[in-house]
Amino acid sequence: MLDMKWIKQNHERVQTAANHKGIDLSIAELMERDEEKKRFLQETEALRETRNKLSYHIGTLVKQGAHADAELTKGQVKEINERLSVVEAELAAAEREVMKLLALVPNVVSPDTPFGRSDADNVEIKRVGEATHFGFEQKDHMALGELHDLIDTQRGVKAAGTRNYYLKGAGVLLHRAVQQLAIDLLMQKGFTLLEVPLMVRTDAMRNTGFFPLGEDQTYQLTEADKWLVGTSEVPMVTYYANEIVNAEHPIKLAAASVCFRSEVGSAGRDVHGLYRVHQFAKVEQVILCKADPELSEAILQEITANAEELLQCLELPYRIMAVCTGDMSQKTYKQYDIETWMPSRGAYGETHSSSNLHDFQARRSNIRYRDEAGVLKYCHTLNNTAVASPRILIPLLENHQEEDGSIRIPAALQPYMNGLTRLAVMDE
């Protein structure tokens, strides 16, 4: 959570961030509750000090034989204890209220973040490749999946309900191939690969900034204090929770994991095919570095470039969007989305996201390092989706389709597909 002193010094900026991110929060109320908490704390400490002095004095009076004065003092101690029990209860309630409000305080946004209300206000800053157009009647990824027996959503629904699917045969190979390609690219760049827990405690979700505002998007295991993660960012950041790390060089972590998302609030949106599903796989980049804004900005560009390199390997047209305030999460300081051209939609669709969080997660997770002077500081944390599948299969299948329905496999994927260069139609 942001430091309370810093919040007070920058209350207008923080309130603006809350307003633009659509978070129902009054910073003025938070500051009032914090002052109230301080008053209760001061009274509590004063009462305890007075009680301790009087209790010590009772012993002296008894030794002196001043029993009447001792009894009178005991009565004073009793009154103080009665008042103390009331004030301690008020203090506890005030502390809970302050913590509840603090949990809603958003990260401020970078000066170059565009203002807007939704993803419609995101700003394109770069475009690579030309949108694919065909001289024949194109098929969408579901038609191609059926033609090549790659995808089965009907049985997915039968087994697990809406927005579920089976991948089959070459569909599974493609799903795994794009992940392994991403892993190999990241390992070449010095990332340490982790296998991470998919179930985490509430604290892990809260400390990484996904709770309290993202609880409705997360599946809970009701018999335990556990949640299924929607990204390996959560366990990777939590890996260093409550630790002092060596941040002389940026700490680069990567993980390939299954992810889960409830998609509450998306009823009727993207119901066709593989765009918005409950279970998917991601290769995620997470970097921890010194609290140097110039350094973390450079790393943001670096991890975004890593995702671009993957898309270029997949030979897919894409564009980079500067995410506006209204489309950003509570935890984010600056964000890019990468959208890949999806012919069946006649538009770009989001496939990757890069975020710089500054020290927002590290404060909540208590991840610190010592600077050159030995002073403890909170790290900056960043994350990026190197690839998410099966969503990436949409542009991969659609952009590389041929007139007869065959699908060309990009050269970079062929080593992961046992040398297969194309998916031919079934009757060839």
**What digits encode the pLDDT tens for the residues 103-157?**
999 999 999 999 999 999 999 999 999 999 999 999 999 999 999 999 999 999 9
Identify the active-site residue in 232, 257, 344, 353. 353
**What pLDDT digit, counting tens, does each position of 295-329 carry?**
999 999 999 999 999 999 999 999 999 999 999 99
Average pLDDT score over the chain: 95
- 291, 358 Cβ separation under 8 angstroms: yes
The answer to whether 391 is a known catalytic residue is yes
Question: Where does 119-423 sit in CATH, by number?
Answer: 3.30.930.10
* pLDDT over 80 at 267, yes or no: no
Identify the active-site residue in 201, 276, 319, 345. 276
Model pTM score? 0.93
Residue range 31-49: average pLDDT?
97
* pLDDT over 60 at 197, yes or no: yes
Q: How far apart, in whole angstroms, are the C-alpha atoms of residue 62 and residue 292?
A: 62
| pLDDT score for 69 | 86
| pLDDT score for 419 | 94
CATH architecture assigned to 4-102 = Orthogonal Bundle (1.10)
| pLDDT score for 426 | 63
| pLDDT score for 265 | 64
Q: Which of 52-61, 267-276, 334-343 has the lowest mean pLDDT?
A: 267-276
The answer to whether 32 is a known catalytic residue is no
Q: Which of 55-59, 91-95, 157-161, 310-314 has the lowest mean pLDDT?
A: 55-59
| pLDDT score for 188 | 98
Nearest to 232 by CA among 296, 186, 271: 186
Q: Which amino acid is at 65?
A: G
| pLDDT score for 428 | 44
Residue range 147-168: average pLDDT?
96
Residue range 164-184: average pLDDT?
98
The answer to whether 329 is a known catalytic residue is no
| pLDDT score for 225 | 87
Q: How far apart, in whole angstroms, are the C-alpha atoms of residue 378 and residue 366?
A: 7
* pLDDT over 90 at 263, yes or no: no
Identify the active-site residue in 33, 51, 163, 261. 261
Residue range 392-416: average pLDDT?
98
Which residue ranges make up each domain of the chain?
4-102, 119-423
pLDDT-based confidence at residue 264 (cuts at 50, 70, 90) = confident
Identify the active-site residue in 284, 297, 391, 398. 391
The answer to whether 368 is a known catalytic residue is no
Identify the active-site residue in 233, 350, 355, 368. 350
Q: How large a percentage of the chain has pLDDT more than 70? A: 97
**What pLDDT digit, counting tens, does each position of 333-371 carry?**
999 999 999 999 999 999 999 999 999 999 999 999 999
* pLDDT over 80 at 204, yes or no: yes
| pLDDT score for 138 | 97
Backbone angles phi, psi at 148, to 5 degrees: -105, 5
With a CB cutoff of 8 Å and minimum separation 6, the contacts of 221 are 199, 227, 228
* pLDDT over 70 at 269, yes or no: no
The answer to whether 355 is a known catalytic residue is no
